[in-house]
Structure 1
Amino acid sequence: MHRSILLSLAASAAAAPLAKRSGTVYGFDVSDYQPNVNMQAAYNSGLRFVFIKATQGTDYISPSFNSQYTDATNAGFIRGGYHYADGTGDGSQEADYFLAHGGGWSDDGITLPGMLDLEADCKSVSWIQTFSDTYHSRTGVYPILYSSPSWWEQCTGNSDAFVNTNPLFMACYNSEPCTPQGDWPYYTFWQYNDDNANGGDSDQFNGDYAQLQAIARG
């Protein structure tokens, strides 16, 4: 995740009061750019959740996903897969591809709902809605939506269409959280840098560990 969309974030949105939950849980996200991440060492360092890239578009499966996901499970992480939206298919097609290759969800307390990574070329509100509805119809939960405030404003007109259904994963490289986009009252996850000591990007969950487990239970 990240790269192109995050360069201007520090200046794009000032920190603002949030409807914040109690506590903070630290985690990270990884992709095939970090094929040899040591999940046990990451867990031992205090991280408790991880998102792992599974798919992109309708024609790419991360070659690292299966091993990373297994290692994360064995290390004790709450974990989930994510899908990088690139527009090679419509929303339904990309959701189906994600679900067929690691993006599923189960009510086991350790599997996070799949995350839709929105940072490449703009996707319309309709495209995102179709992906979200397809994922929900197949799993019973709505996917987490990842974007920066600037991407969301530019590509969706700062739509509030998902506030009541989809958790927000906000990309904001700043010392304090940005103002959540799209009228979300708070972020659920916050990606705050791309230099985690264990590899990948550094993330926070806006709540305590029990609340993180509740997200995993749907």
Structure 2
Amino acid sequence: MPIRTSRFSRVRRRVATVAGALGAISAMVLATPNAVSATSENPVPTTTKSLKPGQAFMGAGTMIHEGPQRTTGEADSPTTYATVEGIDVSRWQGSINWTSVRNAGIQFAWIKATEGTSYKDPNFNTNYPNAYYAGVIRGAYHFALPNASSGTTQADYFASNGGGWSADNLTLPGVLDIESNPYGAQCYGLSTTQMRTWISDFYNRYKARTTRDVVIYTSPSWWNTCTGGWNGMATKSPLWVAHWTTASSPTLPTGFSVWTVWQYTSTGSVSGISGNVDRDRFNGTRDRLLALANNTP
């Protein structure tokens, strides 16, 4: 009996030790910062260093490499510059009530369709038609991974998987989301010359596929660093600039003299969407926004 009791005690102590270790590991996992859930119903993460391929969204790379450009406590919307309001969304916004979004005054939206050449946003096929039927002027965007394949290849993938265009009065041209790499080196390992070529190749193939000039989404810091402040797209592509501030106008990348769309916050809110959503505005009237959608002067 004493021997059995001793063995039982040793086993019990081992079990307790293992359980304690597992509990400690679980606590560490739960406490780890920057952890990103893969469920589509969660709001956009405010920390993004644990993003996995496919999970990028507009501004993800900017948050990682450039940091927030606005301070805590600032209003979501600048109040000194009235214009047409919009949003951009991806899987992170989960289920969206597009009728509520339109009733909240949102007139346009760009929706993530693709990333690289192997990822399609799982919510795109729901969001894209539902936005249309709610009367939101919508378009698709592609998150570029210039280190993964050529600009031509990614433009084809985008155009074939939601990034096309039709003259139906509610479809905007597609967007090339080209920003800091959320998965690694800021400029994706490309030189400024290589990056310019990549962007040109994407632009040329997208236009050949759709007849439209692709809209370029970028931040001033990334564009200046990774393209060398290139002016080669200024007369071709409408600029969508990411500059999170309450100023009356955004800072522009070198090489551009005017902005078409401005993403002014990454922590906005809109009726019909749970959690944070990027807020954007169009530089002009609704008539000019429709002209962009319909490719008219």
Q: TM-score scaled by structure 2?
A: 0.67
| 1:98-177 superposed matches below 5 A | 98-119=158-179, 120=181, 121-122=186-187, 124-176=195-247, 177=249
Shift of residue 106, structure 1, vs aligned partner: 1.3
Given that 1:168 and 1:189 are in contact with CA atoms closer than 8 Å, whether structure 2 keeps it comes out as yes
Shift of residue 144, structure 1, vs aligned partner: 0.2
Q: Distance in 1 between matches of 2:155 and 2:265?
A: 27
Shift of residue 178, structure 1, vs aligned partner: 2.7
Given that 2:232 and 2:255 are in contact with CA atoms closer than 8 Å, whether structure 1 keeps it comes out as no
Mean alpha-carbon deviation: is it higher for 113-122 or for 140-149? 113-122
Between Structure 1 and Structure 2, how many residues are aligned? 208
Q: Is 1:186 matched with 2:245?
A: no
Given that 2:173 and 2:293 are in contact with CA atoms closer than 8 Å, whether structure 1 keeps it comes out as yes
Q: Is 1:54 matched with 2:131?
A: no
Q: Distance in 1 between matches of 2:286 and 2:250?
A: 23
Given that 2:196 and 2:227 are in contact with CA atoms closer than 8 Å, whether structure 1 keeps it comes out as yes
Q: Is 1:213 matched with 2:290?
A: yes
| 1:59-74 superposed matches below 5 A | 59-74=118-133
Partner of 1:96: 156
Structure 1 runs (4+) deviating above 6 angstroms are none
Q: Percent identity?
A: 39
Q: TM-score scaled by structure 1?
A: 0.91
Q: Distance in 2 between matches of 1:64 and 1:55?
A: 11
Q: Distance in 2 between matches of 1:158 and 1:5?
A: 17
| 1:1-80 superposed matches below 5 A | 1-6=58-63, 7-8=66-67, 10=69, 24-80=83-139
1:81 equivalent among 137, 140, 151: 140
Tell me which protein shows more strand as a share of its residues: 1
Q: Distance in 2 between matches of 1:74 and 1:179?
A: 34
Q: Deviations over 1:28-71 (max 9, x none)?
A: 00001112122111110001000000000000000100100111
Partner of 1:14: none
Given that 1:35 and 1:68 are in contact with CA atoms closer than 8 Å, whether structure 2 keeps it comes out as no
Give the match's secondary structure for 2:112.
strand
Q: Distance in 2 between matches of 1:131 and 1:182?
A: 20
| Structure with higher RCO (Cα < 8 A, 6+ apart) | 1
Q: Is 1:202 matched with 2:279?
A: yes
Mean alpha-carbon deviation: is it higher for 99-108 or for 193-202? 193-202
Q: Distance in 2 between matches of 1:9 and 1:143?
A: 26
Cα RMSD of the aligned pairs, angstroms, is 1.6
Q: Distance in 2 between matches of 1:53 and 1:47?
A: 17
Give the match's secondary structure for 1:89.
coil
Q: Deviations over 1:159-200 (max 9, x none)?
A: 000011100000000112332113322110000111231342
Q: Distance in 1 between matches of 2:98 and 2:213?
A: 27
